[in-house]
A and B are shown apart, each in its own frame.
Chain A
Amino acid sequence: MTNLAAPASDAVQAALLLAVDPVGLGGAVLRAAPGPEREGWLAGLRAALPAGTPWRRLPLGIPDSRLLGGLDLAGTLAAGRPVLERGVLAEADGGIVVASMAERLEANTAAKLAAVLDAGQVALQRDGLDLILPARLALVALDEGLAAEETLPPALAERLAFRLEPEAVPLDAASQVAAARARLGQVAVPDALLPALCGAAMQFGIASLRAPLFALRAARAAAALAGHAAVEEADAALAVRLVFGPRATCLPEAEPPAAPEDQPQDSAQPEPQPGPQELQEMLLEATRASLPAGLLAALGAGARDAARRAGAQGREGQRRQSALRGRPIGTRAGALRAGARLSLVETLRAAAPWQGIRRRERAGRPGPLVLVKRDDIRLLRFQQHTETTAIFAVDASGSAALARLAEAKGAVELLLADCYVRRDRVAVVAFRGRAAELLLPPTNSLLRAKRSLAGLPGGGATPLAAGIDAAMALAEEARRRGRTPLLVLLTDGRANIARDGTAGRPRAEADALAAAAPCRAAGIATLLVDTAPRPQPFAKQLAEAMGARYLALPSVDSQKLSAAVATTREVA
């Protein structure tokens, strides 16, 4: 019982809480590169669970037939009746599923996982099977993302109680956890706890109601683990550190809010008592202490929106599908026309159950070994290679003049509408002052695009090189994901901040040209829109260095701009 002797770290505690109440807590996000810490955490969690608890790995890009289940073709044909092949989720009922490289999970897969986490069961409607399979499990998502916005889909992260950097968990916790599991149902919750948890969540700007619910369950598990009959302050403090700490989007105001007066009629509220208020203060302190130093400073500086954006990152949405190229993402029934690619295995799978009937219908006439009909044909579906991600790099500096910035915003919004119609993805980078900022990670949500633009401030110097670098990083990532990047750079070309953040036009211009070179080398379709009232030679020079189309736009003419982007896009 090493973890009783010395106070265990939060990462270790999280593993033990998860072992006590896996279904209630949903799981954890482990944000770390592969390594001994992560393996040690997983091994510790596994050791803490009762012997024989299912433990399954979920590889990235797992097909639905393995994730949810489907028809076991070999078994079906051998048995002469449908035989179910359980998916990973149903196999893991009562246990843990570990998802590798969760930061690259598709929105669609994430939504299926979320549905199973919510329902505790797999609703299987596949291959002629109509089944409900129990799948009460917890998910451990291994997030290997590097950039802040490179993380797992928010819809899934939201359903996992903890988010932590792993460290090795002692391997001898099993008996302690088993005792806690037995006690969990009897742990009492003081009346003051619930209002305090909800209040603390609000103070940290955590909108979702799942967070306080997770905190409540975590507190209960912590009490059970510590052998307390009721949730004590230390249990609650641990719970909020683990659940609220990573979710906080702002710092609490100094003044606690007045007790709400307009209570809904249908809810019987407990009388305001000093309990919740004091408890809440304690919980606020506990959460505050768990925030990393850098985040604290950022939040304090009012970068609340930035944090929220980073948390709400998404790369979901409709995918364009092509018949021929790209990454295969499944099969569908269809006619085998020119250009379509046949999926032989899936076609045979579709044909297999009907062989008996078809042979009988042929009434003994000789025929091929396998009778395949048009209905059986299954075609491969691909994620289209040419799906476009339009990356807007917007110069928001003072030299671009505030009035022009408003015009540029208007133009970008028009282009966004275009992209929405074409179902392109859109990303927005703004650069001003000393650095570039990712305003909007690639998305096809018009709503989010509009919101992010609305909050774009202007003014300051022109770090053109940083802007190009940031846009290029996005373009490279889009490429890695099998999409075609399209870069639109709106600037007046008056670069005056170098890459290292020092002021000075010559250095800044040299750096901008240096940043432009990889763009040309990579052959990324680029449009440079010169927004200066009098077009500058340097902007033209930069466009050449980037291999970009150059468009001088002394007055932002949205029609012209839109047409230019469309042409560039065709080239891409």
Chain B
Amino acid sequence: MDIGASALASRKTVAARPVFPFDAIVGQDEMKLALLIAAVDASIGGVLVFGDRGTGKSTAVRALAALLPPMQAVAGCRFSCDPARPEALCDVCRDATDLVVATVPVPVVDLPLGATEDRVAGALDIERALAQGEKAFEPGLLARAHRGFLYIDEVNLLEDHLVDLLLDVAASGENVVEREGISIRHPARFVLVGSGNPEEGELRPQLLDRFGLSVDVRTPTDLATRVEVIKRRDAFERDGAGFLAKWAEAAAATRDRILAARALLPAITVPDVTLENAARLCMALGTDGLRGELTLIRTARALAALEGDEVVGVPHLRRIAAPALRHRLRRNPLDEAVATTRVDRAVTELFGA
């Protein structure tokens, strides 16, 4: 079969499929909080969700997509340029005299495991090359994810050359493609969200380091929670539209909460004593470099914004210390204590129980 019309048709059918609502996810508070924090402040650098099978890791990420408030972008721009940031415009938008602004949904792009490099980075458009003999750039997933989220399920199984590509782009915020004598560069800044099961293989340390927050998810062990999970899942599968309608109010409230937090974020102050506390915590844990400290502060600030607090204090640090730091500890295979326990212990020692 050929592509044109059928491709469009299939994309549409998929868009119509309902997504399990974020607020209807039972428990898993740390994962939900980490995703909300990433939605409030994209500079935190992404979320890694590692844990047991069947805990709704990918459900949560897809649910977040349905929840995100829309954003402003240059109308028709293939890279969804931000009209508010002239310095970060793509080449086309920079040359344009008059930018028309449109409201578009925040992209949440899936990077499937079988993806080829040309679709991730972008390549020349085969259709136009064949039909018209033209060299036209066809943006890839990195371009589509710009200003949004890039989601990789089973991130620890991603092919090495794709990991290299991701690391490169994540570090520079820019994607460069050279092909058939043309050279394209475009901005590619996105929040990286990965999920996986550690029993299926370790994540490369360099990639692990790219994630701002790391969340451990466990299967709930109490009966009432487990029954509720299944009950909601079943209700959603049997009547998706009805289930979404039931949760629409909660979704609107969470969306407002994200918007309010974003608005509050610049006004939040981090007193010196909090900075000191953060530094002491990182030193006690021996985290490498300053990234840990920076992430810790930023995450605490985003949390304060979500809670509507104007000053960041120890309670905020305490709540997000584990997700911000647990993947930054130096690995010592002989230390039986799990990373989370080590962070919790350090928090208790420094800030009291």
Contact = CB atoms under 8 A, between A and B. Distances in A.
Given A126-B119, A128-B138, A269-B224, A76 B126 contact: yes
B1 A134 contact: no
Contacts of B26: 264, 266-267
Given A80-B131, A115-B153, A207-B52, A125 B119 contact: yes
Contact of B333 (A71, A357, A417): A417
Most buried by B among A132, A194, A454: A132
A267 B3 CA distance: 46
Given A125-B120, A267-B225, A154 B202 contact: no
B180 interface: yes
Interface string A440-454: 000111111010001
A464 to B, nearest CB: 28
B117 A333 contact: yes
A115 B113 contact: yes
B279 interface: no
A76 B225 CA distance: 53
Given A107-B201, A267-B224, A317-B200, A128 B334 contact: no
B53 A112 contact: no
B137 to A, nearest CB: 11
A80 B131 CA distance: 6
Interface stretch (A195-203, A473-481, A511-519): A195-203
Interface stretch (A2-10, A27-35, A48-56, A208-216): A208-216
A467 B180 CA distance: 59
Contact of B113 (A108, A127, A132, A194): A108
A37 B127 CA distance: 49
Nearest to A261: B224
A132 B9 CA distance: 10
A131 interface: yes
B333 A450 contact: yes
A103 B211 CA distance: 33
B127 A82 contact: yes
A134 B10 contact: yes
Interface in A66-115: 67-68, 71, 76-77, 79-84, 86, 107-108, 111-112, 114-115
A316 B201 contact: yes
Most buried by A among B3, B111, B141, B331: B3
B224 A263 contact: yes
Interface of B: 1-4, 7, 10-11, 13-14, 26-27, 52-56, 58, 110-120, 123-127, 129-131, 133-135, 138, 140-141, 153-154, 156-157, 159-161, 178-180, 197-202, 204, 219-231, 233-234, 237-238, 331, 333-334, 336
Which 6 A-B residue pairings sit nearest by Cβ, starting from the closest?
Answer: A317-B201, A267-B228, A417-B333, A125-B115, A125-B119, A208-B54
6 contacts: A64-B114, A76-B130, A260-B222, A312-B199, A357-B133, A450-B336
